[in-house]
């Protein structure tokens, strides 16, 4: 019954007439509960005195002063009233433009409460915008409190919104139940929901405000984690027998490698092993910066599966990358008796048929490929592990399509676009996350240099020197072909220009998405074999391409690329023993945001920092690729600011669901109704990403 009361329309409140209803509805506030959840976006502290002398700084004055005189300034009927005031610390004037009637309200000798921003100008301390009230007129609406300030729209004023919210709190807040479990309130000294709502709107003290905020921020993240936690529970409920995983093939590969695995690679492999041995299917995301050696981890992870006589699939988003993985795999695993196959959409019908038969018979241990892997006619004998590289390039459906080829196979997702920790816990909250932070030993930090387009000659000269000493270079462009609409350099024109005019002594090749796969493959092979010195490309080389002798990445019109693309592109170099360089050439007409992105690249090399910056510049929705607008729009919590609260809420929810899997389930919820409108709490939304 209480719930229904909270759903009363706002028009039930005093002072909320038709115009106000309309203005409120444009902010999606329809019911009393919506209104109660319209939190202030800032506060004015009219509690703690700030005497006049502080008006000389940028502090807002909040004091009691005496009116000491009047004066008019200006000419003719445009003359404006100036009221002189004084407190214990200083004297000042109030400029009453267009409000000469204030003369009567502010008689000389009157004591007033005053709140406003002052400036020291023309040799006096003055304010043109201020609130005031005569002292001694009973309880005040405007003074001696921390005053909430709300987002407004249409005809609304702070005054009538404050009034309506105050009434809603008086009459309805008692209907609000607490929405977390009781031990949490005790553990964190949270306020009850009723107190928290009162405290967030009309805090009696700074301490109350702090407590109210802490309560509501935590509560919001708690509910978000609850949805995620319940999803994870569903996913993990598909139990199987726990088992021991063999390690012989992994050992053989370790011995074969010319280098040692990094500590983080070993740590991740250990986590993967534990998952594989556990009684529920693995669902793990491995994130590691470009060049941190994820591919090797993927192959290592496949080995125990193969050793058991079962099958693994390794899916990559582009044919270029899939082919590279297949070739690397063949090289790495040669001599271990692993049977590898490569499947793309581009293989001829007869070969395809043959390959699919082998796969079905279990004659193939590891299949590497593109989207082609989950087409319908692909049947495995016993798919036990699905690996998805650059997972953010695939949708949930595609992941599931691959998984459906086995019976509860383990899932290993890899990403080189590091997900900020906070997002990993939310949009990706149903995954376990492993992180590779350390780079293989001996890597040098890539030097990043900026140059304006127009000054590219110097860059080209530098590149020529590097090429002479045997290195190779990438040149990347935002367009494939010339465009009439955009005045940008394009790959095809630049390919000819670089080959004929700039680097006539060197061999130049080109790849982009309009070139057919065979030619692409041929060009890539030539680049790997150092038959080509320069590879002109679009962002197709962004993912995965691994040519350690290439040490130069020139990106022209760098302002046209997103941060994660730039970081990925830069990650194509710095993969070997030689010092590498990244040149970001920008057009003089670049936007503020373009400029910021380029500066972020110049100043940072850590992919995690870059993706946090990306999050700040773009907002989280876009980053996770979640379509629905408003997703992850939180009322009061903030993913970057409240990251540690999020972590706490996640851990608490995990613990809670362990003991009480039905906690606040939709069917047992009471006041979760209040959150019906809150966007993040839908399972479908969380499924994307």
Which stretches of the chain bind Mg ion, using CB under 5 A? 295, 544
Q: Which two tokens stand for residue 400?
A: 């599931």
- Which C-beta is closer to ligand ADP: that of 293 or that of 329? 293
Q: In angstroms, rounded to a whole number, what is the distance separating the alpha carbons of residues 659 and 651?
A: 13
Q: Which does 607 bind (CB under 5 to 8 A by kind): ligand ADP, Mg ion, none?
A: none
Phi first, then psi: what are they for 148, rounded to 5°? Answer: -75, 145
**Binding residues for ligand ADP, how many (CB under 6 A)?**
17
Phi first, then psi: what are they for 275, rounded to 5°? Answer: -60, -45
- Which C-beta is closer to Mg ion: that of 214 or that of 413? 413
Q: Which two tokens stand for residue 199?
A: 């405290």
Q: Tokens 């613990």 belong to which residue?
A: 655
- Which C-beta is closer to ligand ADP: that of 445 or that of 486? 445
Q: In angstroms, rounded to a whole number, what is the distance separating the alpha carbons of residues 131 and 363?
A: 83
Q: How far is the CB of 571 from ligand ADP (least distance, A)?
A: 6
Helix, strand, coil proportions of the chain in percent (round to 5)? Answer: 45, 20, 40
Q: Which of 416, 459, 528, 615 binds ligand ADP (CB under 6 A)?
A: 416
- Which C-beta is closer to ligand ADP: that of 295 or that of 472? 295
Q: Which does 674 bind (CB under 5 to 8 A by kind): Mg ion, ligand ADP, none?
A: none
- Which C-beta is closer to ligand ADP: that of 405 or that of 471? 471
Q: Is 148 helix (H, G, I), strand (E, B) or coil?
A: strand
Q: Tokens 């949930």 belong to which residue?
A: 396
Site string for ligand ADP, 114-153 (x = CB under 6 A): ----------------------------------------
Angle, CA of 655, 657 and 663, to the nearest 5°:
130
259 Rama class: left (phi>0) / alpha (psi -120 to 50) / beta: beta
Cβ-proximal residues to 207 (8 Å cutoff; 6+ apart), any chain: none
**Closest residue (Cβ) to ligand ADP?**
293
Q: Which does 325 bind (CB under 5 to 8 A by kind): Mg ion, ligand ADP, none?
A: none
Alpha helices, DSSP H, located in 333-455 = 349-361, 396-403, 421-424
Q: How far is the CB of 394 from ligand ADP (least distance, A)?
A: 16
Q: Is 440 in the site for ligand ADP (CB under 6 A)?
A: yes
- Which C-beta is closer to ligand ADP: that of 291 or that of 689? 291
Q: In what order do the strands lie in the sheet with 366-369?
A: 340-343, 366-369, 311-315, 383-388, 410-415, 283-288, 432-436
Q: Which does 291 bind (CB under 5 to 8 A by kind): Mg ion, ligand ADP, none?
A: ligand ADP
Site string for ligand ADP, 206-245 (x = CB under 6 A): ----------------------------------------
Piece in contact with ligand ADP (CB under 6 A), picked from 58-66, 166-174, 259-267, 605-613: 259-267
Q: In angstroms, rounded to a whole number, what is the distance separating the alpha carbons of residues 508 and 510?
A: 7
User: Interface residues for ligand ADP in 562-581 (CB under 6 A)?
Assistant: 575
Q: How far is the CB of 290 from Mg ion (least distance, A)?
A: 7
Q: In angstroms, rounded to a whole number, what is the distance separating the alpha carbons of residues 509 and 17?
A: 70
- Which C-beta is closer to ligand ADP: that of 179 or that of 266? 266
Q: Is 259 in the site for ligand ADP (CB under 6 A)?
A: yes
Q: In angstroms, rounded to a whole number, what is the distance separating the alpha carbons of residues 472 and 580?
A: 10
Q: How far is the CB of 523 from Mg ion (least distance, A)?
A: 20
The H or E element spanning position 682 is none
Q: Is 261 in the site for ligand ADP (CB under 6 A)?
A: yes
Other CB atoms within 10 A of residue 325 CB: 24
Q: In angstroms, rounded to a whole number, what is the distance separating the alpha carbons of residues 297 and 219?
A: 38
Q: Which does 296 bind (CB under 5 to 8 A by kind): Mg ion, ligand ADP, none?
A: ligand ADP
- Which C-beta is closer to ligand ADP: that of 261 or that of 427? 261
Q: Is 267 in the site for ligand ADP (CB under 6 A)?
A: no
Longest Cα separation, the chain: 102
Q: In angstroms, rounded to a whole number, what is the distance separating the alpha carbons of residues 202 and 198?
A: 6
Q: Is 287 in the site for ligand ADP (CB under 6 A)?
A: no
Q: Are 239 and 279 in contact (CB under 8 A)?
A: yes
- Which C-beta is closer to ligand ADP: that of 577 or that of 683? 577
Q: Is 318 in the site for ligand ADP (CB under 6 A)?
A: no
- Which C-beta is closer to Mg ion: that of 478 or that of 544? 544
Q: Is 263 in the site for ligand ADP (CB under 6 A)?
A: no
Q: Which does 575 bind (CB under 5 to 8 A by kind): ligand ADP, Mg ion, none?
A: ligand ADP
Q: Which does 259 bind (CB under 5 to 8 A by kind): Mg ion, ligand ADP, none?
A: ligand ADP
Q: In angstroms, rounded to a whole number, what is the distance separating the alpha carbons of residues 674 and 179?
A: 10
- Which C-beta is closer to ligand ADP: that of 146 or that of 261? 261
Angle, CA of 337, 343 and 347, to the nearest 5°:
125
- Which C-beta is closer to ligand ADP: that of 262 or that of 391? 262
Query: How far, CA to CA in Å, does 663 sit from each of 226, 229, 670, 676?
Result: 9, 11, 11, 17
Q: Which does 440 bind (CB under 5 to 8 A by kind): ligand ADP, Mg ion, none?
A: ligand ADP
- Which C-beta is closer to ligand ADP: that of 262 or that of 539? 262
Q: Which of 49, 116, 128, 548 binds ligand ADP (CB under 6 A)?
A: 548
Q: How far is the CB of 577 from ligand ADP (least distance, A)?
A: 10
- Which C-beta is closer to ligand ADP: that of 293 or that of 429? 293
Q: In angstroms, rounded to a whole number, what is the distance separating the alpha carbons of residues 520 and 466?
A: 25
Burial class of 461 by CB neighbour count within 10 A (0 to 12, 13 to 18, 19+) = exposed
Q: Is 171 helix (H, G, I), strand (E, B) or coil?
A: helix
Q: Which of 45, 492, 517, 546 binds ligand ADP (CB under 6 A)?
A: 546
Q: How far is the CB of 210 from Mg ion (least distance, A)?
A: 45
- Which C-beta is closer to ligand ADP: that of 290 or that of 368? 290
Q: Which does 548 bind (CB under 5 to 8 A by kind): Mg ion, ligand ADP, none?
A: ligand ADP
Buried b (16+ CB within 10 A) or exposed e, 76-97: eeeeebbbbbebeebbbbbbbe
What one-character-per-residue DSSP string does 645-681 give? HHHHHHHHHHHHHHH-TTTT-GGG-SGGGGGTT-GGG
Alpha helices, DSSP H, located in 78-205 = 102-105, 158-172, 182-188, 193-201
Q: Which of 63, 208, 211, 265 binds ligand ADP (CB under 6 A)?
A: 265
Piece in contact with ligand ADP (CB under 6 A), picked from 125-133, 176-184, 261-269, 456-464: 261-269
Q: Which of 31, 127, 225, 295 binds ligand ADP (CB under 6 A)?
A: 295
Piece in contact with ligand ADP (CB under 6 A), picked from 258-266, 529-537, 554-562, 669-677: 258-266
Q: Are 464 and 543 in contact (CB under 8 A)?
A: no
Cβ-proximal residues to 293 (8 Å cutoff; 6+ apart), any chain: 261, 262, 265, 436, 440
Piece in contact with ligand ADP (CB under 6 A), picked from 51-59, 211-219, 224-232, 257-265: 257-265
Binding site residues, ligand ADP, CB under 6 A: 259, 261-262, 265, 288, 290-296, 416, 440, 546, 548, 575
């Amino acid at each position: 019954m209480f719930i229904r009361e909270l759903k009363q329309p706002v028009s039930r409140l005093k002072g909320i007439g038709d115009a106000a209803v309309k203005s409120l509805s444009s902010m999606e506030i329809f019911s009393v509960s919506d209104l109660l959840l319209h939190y202030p976006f800032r506060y004015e502290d009219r509690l703690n005195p700030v005497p006049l002398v502080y008006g000389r700084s940028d502090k807002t004055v909040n004091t009691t002063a005496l009116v000491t005189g009047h004066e008019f300034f200006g000419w003719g009927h445009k003359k404006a009233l100036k009221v002189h005031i004084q407190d214990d610390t200083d004297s000042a004037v109030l400029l009453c433009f267009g409000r000469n009637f204030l003369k009567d309200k502010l008689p000389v000798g009157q004591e007033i409460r005053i709140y406003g921003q002052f400036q020291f100008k023309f040799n006096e301390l003055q304010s043109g915008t201020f609130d005031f009230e005569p002292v001694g007129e009973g309880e005040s609406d405007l003074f001696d409190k921390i005053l909430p300030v709300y987002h407004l729209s249409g005809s609304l004023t702070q005054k009538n919104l404050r009034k309506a919210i105050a009434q809603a709190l008086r009459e309805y807040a008692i209907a609000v139940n607490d929405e977390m479990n009781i031990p949490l309130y005790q553990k964190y000294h949270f306020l009850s929901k009723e107190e928290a709502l009162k405290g967030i709107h009309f805090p009696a003290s700074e301490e109350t405000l702090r407590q109210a905020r802490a309560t509501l921020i935590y509560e919001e993240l708690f509910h978000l984690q609850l949805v995620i936690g319940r999803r994870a529970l569903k996913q993990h409920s598909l139990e199987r027998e726990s088992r021991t995983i063999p390690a012989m093939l992994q050992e053989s590969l370790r011995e074969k490698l010319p280098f040692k695995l990094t500590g983080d690679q070993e740590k991740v492999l250990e986590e993967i092993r534990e998952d594989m041995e556990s009684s529920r299917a693995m669902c793990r995301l491995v994130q590691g910066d470009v060049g941190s050696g994820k591919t090797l981890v993927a192959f290592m992870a496949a080995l125990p599966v193969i050793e058991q006589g079962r099958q693994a699939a390794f899916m990559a988003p582009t044919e270029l990358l899939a082919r590279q993985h297949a070739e690397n795999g063949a090289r790495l695993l040669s001599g271990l008796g692993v049977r590898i196959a490569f499947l793309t959409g581009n293989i001829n019908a007869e070969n395809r048929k043959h390959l699919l038969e082998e796969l079905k018979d279990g004659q193939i241990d590891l299949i590497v490929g593109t989207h082609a892997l989950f087409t319908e006619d692909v049947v495995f004998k016993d798919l036990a592990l699905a690996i998805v590289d650059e997972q953010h390039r695939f949708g949930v459906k595609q992941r599931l399509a691959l998984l459906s080829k086995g019976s509860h196979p383990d899932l290993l997702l890899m990403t080189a676009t590091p997900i900020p920790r906070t997002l990993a816990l939310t949009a990706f909250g149903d995954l376990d996350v492993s992180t590779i932070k350390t780079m293989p030993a001996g890597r040098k930090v890539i030097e990043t240099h900026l140059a304006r387009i127009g000054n590219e000659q110097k860059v080209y000269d530098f590149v020529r020197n590097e090429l002479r000493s045997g290195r190779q270079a990438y040149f990347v462009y935002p367009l494939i072909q010339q465009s009439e609409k955009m005045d940008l350099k394009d790959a095809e024109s630049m390919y000819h220009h670089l080959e004929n005019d700039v680097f006539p002594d060197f061999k130049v090749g080109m790849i982009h998405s309009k070139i057919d796969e065979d030619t692409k493959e041929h060009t890539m092979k030539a680049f790997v074999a150092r038959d080509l010195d320069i590879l002109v490309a679009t962002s197709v080389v962004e993912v995965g391409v691994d040519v350690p002798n290439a040490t130069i990445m020139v990106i022209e019109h760098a302002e046209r690329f997103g941060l994660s693309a730039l970081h990925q592109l830069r990650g194509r170099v710095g993969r070997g023993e030689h010092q590498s360089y990244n040149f970001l050439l920008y057009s003089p007409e670049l936007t503020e945001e373009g400029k910021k992105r380029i500066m972020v690249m110049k100043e940072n090399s850590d992919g995690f920092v870059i993706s946090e910056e990306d999050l700040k510049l773009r907002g989280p929705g876009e980053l996770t690729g979640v379509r629905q607008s408003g997703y992850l729009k939180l009322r009061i919590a903030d993913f970057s600011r409240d990251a540690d609260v999020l972590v706490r809420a996640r851990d608490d929810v995990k613990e809670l669901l362990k003991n009480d899997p039905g906690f606040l389930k939709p069917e047992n919820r009471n006041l979760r109704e209040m959150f019906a409108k809150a966007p993040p709490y839908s399972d479908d939304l969380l499924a994307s990403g």
